[in-house]
Every structure is written in C-alpha cells, then in structure tokens.
Chain A
Amino acid sequence: MSVARKTKVTNNIRALRFANGEMTQAQLADRIDVTRQTVIAIEQGRYSPSLEMAFQIARVFGVALEEVFGYDEPD
C-alpha cells in the first residue's frame, strides 16, 4: 500500500531517460545538481520541482518543458 502523496504535476522523465541512452537517475541527478532521491521523488510524482529545475530537466533532454511535464486539471 502506498501512502505517498501525489502531486498534480505529471512527467515523462522515465521515458525520456530511456530514450536518451538509458540515462540513469544518478546521471540525471548529476546533470541538474540534485540528489538521486529527488529525481526519484519527481519521477514518482511525490515532488513538484521548481520552475528552474523543470527547465533544467527539459534542457538535459533537449525538449520543451511541455514534453517533460504535464498538469492534471482538477475535476
């Protein structure tokens, strides 16, 4: 049973990592200067990164911000 609180920000980081030479979470963390646990938390939707970090992640993959992150509209 998961007790993790999900954010409304969705992301494709996992897919993008694999599409970019199977980049590891540790490698991505190094590129954006955060801990691996933070990358894991973002991927699992337990943490919404700042706008600055979001841009850094998109820049690592060479894509637009919208291709990395989405936002679940409230019902």
Chain B
Amino acid sequence: MTTPYQHQGAPGAVYSSPIPIRRAHLGDAIASEWTKIRSVRSTIWTLSVMALLLVGIGLAVAAAITTSDANVEDQPILSLGFFGVLLGSLCVMTLGVLTVASEYGTGMIRTTLTACPTRGRVLTAKAIVFFALVFTVTLALTLFVGVAQVAIIDQGSPTTQEWLRSTLGVSLYLALLGLLSLAVGSMIRHSAGAITIMIGLVLLPLVMAMFMFTESLSWLQDALLEYSIPSQLGVLYDNSVTQSGPMGWEPLWIMLGIAAVALGAAYTMLNSRDV
C-alpha cells in the first residue's frame, strides 16, 4: 500500500483486472433481487404474519362452524378462507411496497442503479422475484387451509372449479395485487405513503359505497361494491357481496390489467426520473 504513485498518466500502466468479464443479464439481476428480498427481516415478518392470518382465521372459522353445528350447505366450504386471505392481502401489499420503496428510504437505490444502470431490468427482476415468492407462499397456504377446512367440516367435497379458483386463482390474485403495490411503491418512492394509498384502494370503495344512499347514486354504489378489491376476491370464492358484476375468473383478468398498467407507468417514471 505504500508503492509510489505515478504522475500525469504515465503510458502503458493501465490497470487490468484478473476478474473475468462475463456479460450480465436478467438472470443475474433476479439472483441479486432474490438475495435482497431474502436477507431483510421485513420479508420474514410480513410473510409470517400472513401465514398466521390465513391459517389461524381459516381454521378458527372452520372449527367454529363444526362446534356450532351451523348448516353451511348453501355456502361453499372453501369460501371460509376468504377472511384470512383478505387480511393477509395487507401483508402482501406492505411487502410489495417495501420491496421498492425501502430502497429509496435507505438510499440503496443509488447503489442498485449504479450496479445495474439498465433500470428496466432492475424493476423486472424485482417484479419477477416478488411475484414468484408471493404466489408460491399463498398457494401453499391456501392449499393447506382448504384441505384442512374440508377435513374439519366434513360436509361434501368442493368441485374442481372451486378448488382451482380458491387456491390457484386467489394466489395469482394476491401476487398481482402485490405487483400493483410494488408499482405504486416505485412511483411514490415512499413506504408509508404508498402503503396508505394501497390500503385506501382496498377499503375506500366499500366505505364510500356505504354512504351513497340516494337513488341517483345507486349505480355508482353498485359499481363500487362490485369492483372493490374485497368483492373481487369474494367472487373467486363464489362469495360475492353482490349478485351482479364480474363472475368466475374475471377478477383475475381485471387485476392483471390494472397491475400491467401500473407497472408500465412505474417503468416509464423510473427511466425518466433522477434518483
């Protein structure tokens, strides 16, 4: 460390690193984002709380129904998972926002974008890693809760459609809702602000609908009820608040569209803004 240094750019003394240069691509960015998401405590916390909510509420509701001997024949058994998933979605939204916004909060985003100046690649890698993580975790949890509920209640077996929608469908829906949160977090760049916006997005339509008593607003009230996120989630469980509006798998396509538009906007903003 004490070798004399050269002056005025002496010729021929270029430093050349022994580390081989291998072209980095999206796969490397995904590996990087996976390291990031698994190495912070907020990931473990939000996903643990989500597991607790889904399993805890799911099993508690099922147990309550068997002990009270209530007749649930008119309601699909798997729809009992709805309450846990609705609360669990708050965890998914929080984690989605934090995945991007915490980088702005800590200043890490500068380091990240210095290491990978192709900004689109960073956001794509984040979206892929986060989507895969949430989808996998939710699928495992909804499957477990569904099987447990059917076993506990023991009143007929759900159809294949019901099984698919309440596990695969719900998991895709939550993962897409998470992607929407991730996009909002990337645009707002502030964790608390983005989480508030997401919670408002879930709750406000229902709350607002409650206050629309007048006849002239009833169409808006219906629309808010039908298209609010909790109702859409209910549709996947055949447990909608209303009898009109989207049916079957439709909520999934609606959320896919919204998440795609939000991610598109997030890409555009990330590429043009200073960090």
Chain B associates with chain A? no
List the interface of chain B (C-beta within 8 A of A).
none
List the interface of chain A (C-beta within 8 A of B).
none
